[in-house]
Amino acid sequence: MTDPFDQRIDDCRRRLEDTAAEAAVLFPSPNLTYLTGFEESPSERHLLLFVPRAGEPAFVAPAMYADQLAATPIDDVRLWDDGDDPVSLVAETLSDLDVDGGRVLVDDRMWALFTQNLRSVLPDAEFDLASVVFEDLRLRKDETELEALRRAGDIADRVSAKIRTRGEDVIGTTEADLAAEIERLLAASDGGDPAFETIVASGPNGARPHHHSGDREIEAGDPVVLDFGAFVDADLESGTARYPGDQTRTIVFGGEPSAEYREVHEVVREAQETAVEAVEPGVTAGEIDRAARSVIEDAGYGDAFVHRTGHGVGLEVHEPPYIVDGNDRELEPGMVFSVEPGIYLEGQFGVRIEDLVVVTDDGAEPLNDSPRGWQSET
């Protein structure tokens, strides 16, 4: 599979033209990884990528990154040593790229230190956020990204199936211990780091959508919300790009749950299925939220569905499009997002069912197919 970066840089230039911007300036962030395959944590050192509307991109970076940046598709790499003045190199680079004003887009994650440096070098520029360009670029996943997301979904499915077979053996296990076991299984199934803090929320803790797994022991008949996923590396010739899995199931490990739980689980399952079936190009993100929410409201639990129906997934676990009421963004082929309605009854239990889906030319491709029922296997 060939690297997609040349195409992405060309697409970025076209979007700069469309938005009348002279350049984008990127900082260590998912936007930078998207364009170059280079991933690094932010620091106090100037590490910036300049993408002009016309001409080739250029890195300004500390000399310690020479080897890593040589592996990226960017040929123009300008290095500075500790003791040098990186702001002077920034000014020189902008001059060489014929960027001396106009509209300049800065990475949404860029620290104030660096935006202030840019303002000092380009006093006549109008600054805006790079999301003006990058949100649209990153919304539709290319085949390299989709292949990685499919692998991440498959890993989550395999781990979900393995955990379900634990059955009554889970009784007496703490939430934290079960979360650690899930993360070990993710790694053993070819997953990388956990994509987010694994959620194991048992009994009344399940009524907290973002519960932190603790020392509560799982009891017979407890509904247990399991929300997890792992990063996988995209198949790239150069650079690094990681894509996450994200799946939620609510399972009872031994014992019999209450009749109310069974009812609520069925309502959530129907809401999730209805929302997935509603996905197709041209439908708005808000309509998908409404499809799920209407099922839950009709069942009398509307006040207990306390979050949006979903979120986009890509280089970030949470990114556009957000599947929330009022979002008029129309769905397009290649968009990837979660569908995860839930009902949360304070002091009792919670139920959430979540899959990732890809918008196709005529509907949706689910990235998860592990069982969605509440029963464990014995």
CATH number of the domain enclosing 294: 3.90.230.10
Task: Give the start-end residues of each E strand in 213-371.
Answer: 223-228, 231-233, 242-244, 247-252, 310-312, 319-323, 336-339, 342-345, 349-352, 355-359, 364-366
Place of tokens 């939620």: 248
Asked if the structure places residue 377 within a domain, the reply is: no
127, 172: one domain: no
Asked if the structure places residue 346 within a domain, the reply is: yes
99, 175: one domain: no
Query: What per-residue confidence (pLDDT) applies to 4?
Result: 86
Asked if the structure places residue 373 within a domain, the reply is: no
Query: What per-residue confidence (pLDDT) applies to 378?
Result: 61
Asked if the structure places residue 112 within a domain, the reply is: yes
Q: Rounded distance, CA 114 to CA 137, Å?
A: 24
237, 124: one domain: no
CATH number of the domain enclosing 36: 3.40.350.10
DSSP-derived secondary structure for 158-222? HHHHHHHTTGGGGTT-BHHHHHHHHHHHHHHTT--SBSSPPEEEEGGGGGSTTPPP-SPBP-TT-
Looking at this protein, which amino acid is placed at residue 252? Answer: V
108, 190: one domain: no
Query: What per-residue confidence (pLDDT) applies to 1?
Result: 41
Q: Rounded distance, CA 293 to CA 268, Å?
A: 10
> What tokens appear for 319 in the block?
């990114």
Q: Around Cβ 59, how many Cβ atoms within 10 Å?
A: 22
146, 92: one domain: no
245, 284: one domain: yes
173, 28: one domain: no
| Strand, helix or coil for residue 108 | coil
147, 295: one domain: yes
Number of domains within the chain: 2
Asked if the structure places residue 219 within a domain, the reply is: yes
User: b/e string for 90-111 if b means 16 or more Cβ within 10 A?
Assistant: bbebbeebebeeebbbbbbbbe
Asked if the structure places residue 375 within a domain, the reply is: no
102, 188: one domain: no
User: b/e string for 360-375 if b means 16 or more Cβ within 10 A?
Assistant: eeeebbebbebebebe
Q: Which residues of the chain fall below pLDDT 70?
A: 1-3, 238-239, 378
Last residue of a domain, one of 103, 137, 171: 137
**What predicted TM-score, i.e. pTM, was given to this entire model?**
0.94
248, 153: one domain: yes
Domain encompassing residue 260: 140-366
102, 168: one domain: no
214, 347: one domain: yes
Query: What per-residue confidence (pLDDT) applies to 236?
Result: 74
Query: What per-residue confidence (pLDDT) applies to 240?
Result: 76
Asked if the structure places residue 371 within a domain, the reply is: no
Asked if the structure places residue 123 within a domain, the reply is: yes
